[in-house]
Amino acid sequence: MNAPSSLTGQVVVGRYRIVRQLGRGGMGAVYEAIQLSMNRPVAMKLIHPTLAEDEELVARFHREMQVTSSIVHPNTVSVLDFGATETGQLFLVMELLDGRSLAAVLRDEGALPLRRIVHIGKQVLRALAAAHHEGIVHRDLKPENVMLQDRFDERDAVKVLDFGIARVLEPGANAPAMTMEGTLLGTPGYMSPEQATGKPVGPASDLYSFGVLLYQMATGGLPYSGTTIQELLVKQVTEPPRPPSAIAPGKVAPQLEALILALLQKDPAARPSSAAAVQTRLEACLDPAPVPGLDPSFPAGPGGGTVILDGHTPTVNLPSASGGPAPTGTAVVAPQPSTRPKQSVATGPGRPSSATGPGRPGSVTGPSTGPKPAPHDDLEDEPAPSESDAAPAPVPARPRGGSPWPLVAGGVVVLLVAGGATLGWMTWTRQKQRAAAAAEARAKLDALLAASGEPAAPEVCRARAAEEVVPLLAAMPALAPADGAAPGDGALAALAELETVAAARPEAPEVWTLVARGRLYAKEDTAGALEAARTAARLCPNSAAAQHLRALAARDRGELEEAKASFQRAAAADASWAAPPKALGLLLLKERDFRGASAALGQALQRRPEDLGARLGRAQARFLSGDLEGAREDAQEATRASADRAEGWLLLGHVLAREKRFEEALTAFCEAKRRGSAEAAKLCTSD
Pairing mode, strands 11-12 and 405-409: unpaired
* Contact in structure between 525 and 499 (CB atoms under 8 Å): no
* Whole-angstrom distance, CA of residue 366 vs CA of residue 359: 12
Strands across the sheet with 79-84, in order?
11-12, 16-24, 28-35, 40-47, 90-95, 79-84
Looking at 279-426, which runs of residues are DSSP E strands? 306-310, 313-317, 329-330, 405-409, 412-417, 420-421
Distance separating alpha carbons of residues 69 and 93, to the nearest angstrom:
10
Q: Quick one: residue 624, left, alpha or beta (phi over 0 = left, psi -120 to 50 = alpha)?
A: alpha
- CA–CA dist 240, 634 (Å, integer): 68
Burial profile 305-342: b = 16 or more Cβ within 10 angstroms, e = fewer: bebeeeeebbbbbbeeeeeeeeeebbbbbbbbbbbbbb
From the list 81, 140, 525, 627, the catalytic residue is 140
Q: What is the DSSP letter of 227?
A: S
Three-class DSSP category at 199: coil
380, 174 Cβ separation under 8 angstroms: yes
Q: Respond yes or no: is residue 381 known to be catalytic.
A: no
Q: Where are the beta strands (DSSP E) in 285-370?
A: 306-310, 313-317, 329-330
Q: What are phi and psi of 633, to 5 degrees?
A: -60, -45
H helical segments located in 307-422: none
Helix 423-452 vs helix 466-479: angle between axes, to the nearest 10 degrees? Answer: 30
Asked if 684 and 653 count as a contact pair (C-beta separation under 8 A), the reply is no
Report angle CA 65, 511, 435 to the nearest 5 degrees: 110
CA atoms within 13 A on the CB side of 291: 18
Kind plus residue range of the DSSP H or E element containing 609: none
Alpha helical stretches, state H, 480-543 = 490-504, 509-521, 526-539
Backbone angles phi, psi at 419, to 5 degrees: 100, -5
Residues marked as catalytic: 140
